[in-house]
Amino acid sequence: MLRLADVPALRAQVRAWRAAGEGVALVPTMGALHEGHLSLVRQAQASSRRVVVSIFVNPTQFGPNEDFSRYPRVLEADLALLAEIGADAAFLPDVATMYPPGFATTVTVTGLTEVLCGPLRPGHFAGVATVVTKLLLQCLPDRAVFGEKDFQQLQVIRRAARDLDIPVAIEGAPTLREPDGLALSSRNRYLSDEERRVAPAMHAVLQRVAEAVGGGAATAPALAEGRAALEAAGFGPVQYLSVNDAETLAPLERVESPARVLAAAYLGRTRLIDNVAV
């Protein structure tokens, strides 16, 4: 597997693959890879001859009181996993490569970022949209694959790519889960044994809410019951539990089109997010 540290090397390699008639996919990550990330790589491999996986812990998407400094960094272990499943290249830029001196441009997506995690994490989605836009333009793959666990992020990236006419197909990939329902996440390693025992309750609550509102019933009673169940299980604060349109992310009083039930809540010091389709 190739290790590419700068943009000229990345572009040269992608040009060589294209000259050979080979399709290219990109899987952007922040490292600390787990089976969920590897499933994104496998999905990319199913549709593209060549797959690039980027590993970059992006400082601009972390707030001042968030976990940037303690976010797990296990590069050699990540590279071993990628080599084992046959990724073709790892793009490993440093901060100076992504944000050189004088960098002064931000990509901001409105509307989609004004609900759910947006108000709770000021600047987060601007950081995400900016770094992903850069990665897409640096690599210019045929497609890029992102997990549906970060559903709001996925929709923000789709909107940015569409609005900026970036010629890359943005694909969502299903959330991978532990046998007890907990969504795979790099942050799960922060959970204590007791918190790990409690954590699957979030998925169970999301499923109950989805079942309750799927027939067109009012969402408010199911959401109130679900929030109470999360708090009783040990989550707190519960930042949101919401039923939203799957395309616009507008909150819904009743489900009449494709929708998602989404939640964000703390379990101890760890912030967990998850969602399910309705």
- Say what the pLDDT of residue 208 is: 98
The reply to whether 153 sits in an annotated binding site is: yes
Whether residue 239 is found in the same domain as residue 131: no
Determine if residue 32 is labeled as part of a ligand binding site. yes
Residues 129 and 255 grouped into a single domain: no
What stretches of the chain adopt beta strand conformation (E)?
Answer: 2-4, 24-29, 50-55, 89-91, 143-147, 169-173, 238-245, 259-267, 270-277
CA–CA separation, 143 and 147 (whole Å): 13
Give yes or no: 203 in active site. Answer: no
CA 228 from chain center: how many Å?
27
Which of 143, 173, 203 lies at the terminal end of a domain, its last residue?
173
What pLDDT digit, counting tens, does each position of 80-91 carry? 999 999 999 999
Q: How confident is the model at residue 122 (pLDDT cuts 50, 70, 90)?
A: very high
- The pLDDT, as a whole number, for residue 216 is 95
pLDDT surpasses 90 at 64? no
Residues 166 and 232 in one domain: no
Q: For 187-204, what is the mean pLDDT?
A: 97
> Considering the chain, what percentage of its residues have pLDDT values greater than 70?
100
pLDDT value at position 274? 98
Within 10 angstroms of residue 145's Cβ, the number of other Cβ atoms is: 27
Domain residues for 151? 2-173
Say how many domains are in the chain: 2
Could you say which of 124, 152, 173 is where a domain stops? 173
For residue 179, is it within any domain?
no
The stretch 42-67 carries a mean pLDDT of 94
* Assessment of whether the complete model's pTM goes beyond 0.75: yes
CATH of residue 264's domain is 3.30.1300.10
Mean pLDDT, the chain, integer: 97
**Residue of 25, 28, 29, 37 marked active site:** 37
Domain end position, chosen among 151, 173, 195: 173
Report, as an integer, the average pLDDT of 125-148.
Answer: 98
Better-scored residue on pLDDT, 30 or 64: 30
Residues 25 and 59 occupy one common structural domain: yes
